[in-house]
Amino acid sequence: MLKQQLQQKLQQKLSPAQIQVIKMLEVPTLELEERIRQELEENPALEEGAELDNESNEKDDDFNSEDGGNNDDIDLEEYMSDDDIPDYKLKANNTSKDDKYEDIPFSIGMTFHEFLLDQVGLLQLSDKDRLLTEYVIGNIDDEGYLRRAPEAMVDDIVFQAGVQTSDEEIYRIIHQVQQLDPAGVGAIDLQECLRLQLERKVETAENKLARKIIVEYFDEFSKKHYDKIMRGLDMDDLMLKKVMNEIIHLNPKPGNAWGGNILEKSMSTIVPDFILENDENQLTVHLNNSNVPDLRVNTTYNEMFQDYAGNKQNQSREMKDAVMFVKQKIDSARWFIDAIKQRQQTLLTTMIAIVQFQKAFFIEGDDTYLKPMILKDIADITGYDISTISRVSNSKYIQTEFGIFPVKYFFSESMTNDSGEEVSTREIKQILLECVNNEDKRKPINDDALAEVLKTKGYIIARRTVAKYREQLNIPVARMRKEI
């Protein structure tokens, strides 16, 4: 049975401007620069330059329907709805068919796969072998490994290129690819990668034993059971050291040895979002805005809108559509500028609070001076929400006189030592790291022994907590830290 009823609901929604501010908080400086360039290209009402002190913020929403019964007058707020505005009216194409565009060539160097294909061009291959070789190279990842099973490639190449082949033929092609530079490329796993590199080296007594270890004792080698290797191959400590030195100098990721192109290198560059200056223990935080331009609303668009708004009578539908388009672009530009300003203010306020909280560390540069600090501590100081502090600290970096640190580096939990004093877990991790660095590598300290060492220093923590901190520091277990 159909039933009609009246229901009242209260909902809370974020406005487009609020959503834009939230997104701006999350992006680091490099992404912000790209986002600004993109907005400048898409919105003609936005331009670079300091804001002018004019009447750009006049009441531009007076251009609404005053004659309630006249359908020729329009309500801009109604027309601003995404459902009512056709897509073509939100885009502008200011290009002419006579405009001439020329691509400027930019050399970014040769990639790893291009380097491999370039070597294939020097080989005398049939058309089918060349196609199969290029297909195999296309399945090699950036580390230089062939991650796809040869049997699977046989089926794929039939469907993708219409070339009939066999397992034996693919294995022959893979073996041919493995002869290319760098040594070890095209290997299925680490064991094969190391073996291929050893086969390229000059054959010596150490090299022969190294190959034997990789082929016959790889499991013992990976688990560092050196005593089993010495018994099995009947060699002493001195010879084992020489052989292990031969293996250690091999490259487990041959693809990473390739320098890559300029674009790949630039992606790994860290651009700090904040710069900290220390003038006789007076700390000053600056935003790194060197490449962030000043933005303003285009004055031509402002004047255009004011002219249209002042001459509402007897306007055509096309004119009203133009007014709606101009207003939409101006509002979008103002929202974007306000979002940038609010982002900068929020970032600066949050970072100043963090620096003041951890002032001792920023003056001394020693991890032991870091105080326990969680997101709520900074949220209480700044008055922002915890989620806002999280967005600010995510993917952001600060440049200090001791180096560049991620902002999240300064957040840590607390624990109480034997004297009842609250200390940062980062301080414990630093002591744990020093213990591991100073241990006898022939007999590394296990987690139980590390817990005892920390206990003697006043930090009473369980073995499982030691294991957790060790894993967070990317320190392997004692057996894997063993050296000859």
Q: Which residue has the tokens 């094969």?
A: 192
Strand duo 274-279 + 397-400: pairing: parallel
Question: ω before 406 within 30° of 0 (cis)?
Answer: no
As a whole number of angstroms, the distance between CA 196 and CA 215 comes to: 11
- Find residue 403's DSSP bridge partners: 400
Write out the two tokens for 317: 């539908």
- Asked whether residue 382 carries a pLDDT value surpassing 70, the answer given is yes
At 443 the three-state DSSP class reads coil
Indicate the pLDDT class of residue 54, thresholds 50, 70 and 90.
low
H or E stretch at 193: helix 190-200
As a whole number of angstroms, the distance between CA 453 and CA 457 comes to: 7
Residue of 49 and 221 predicted with greater confidence: 221
- Cβ neighbours of residue 450 under 8 Å, at least 6 residues apart? 432, 435, 436, 466, 470
Indicate the pLDDT class of residue 72, thresholds 50, 70 and 90.
very low
As assigned by CATH, the class of the 274-278+343-481 domain is mainly alpha
Q: Lowest-confidence range among 87-101, 279-293, 387-401, 432-446?
A: 87-101
Please state the pTM of the whole predicted model: 0.55
Q: How many percent of the chain have pLDDT more than 70?
A: 81
As a whole number of angstroms, the distance between CA 317 and CA 73 comes to: 9
State residue 445 phi and psi, 5-degree precision.
-85, 130
Domain extents in the chain: 18-52+76-87+294-340, 112-177, 201-257, 274-278+343-481
Average pLDDT, the chain: 78
How far is CA 314 from each of CA 66, 301, 422, 435, rounded to the nearest angstrom?
13, 21, 75, 84
Residues 260-289: tens digit of each pLDDT? 544 444 445 788 889 999 888 899 999 888
Indicate the pLDDT class of residue 349, thresholds 50, 70 and 90.
very high
H or E stretch at 340: helix 317-357
pLDDT, average across residues 340-364: 91
The DSSP symbol for 124 reads -
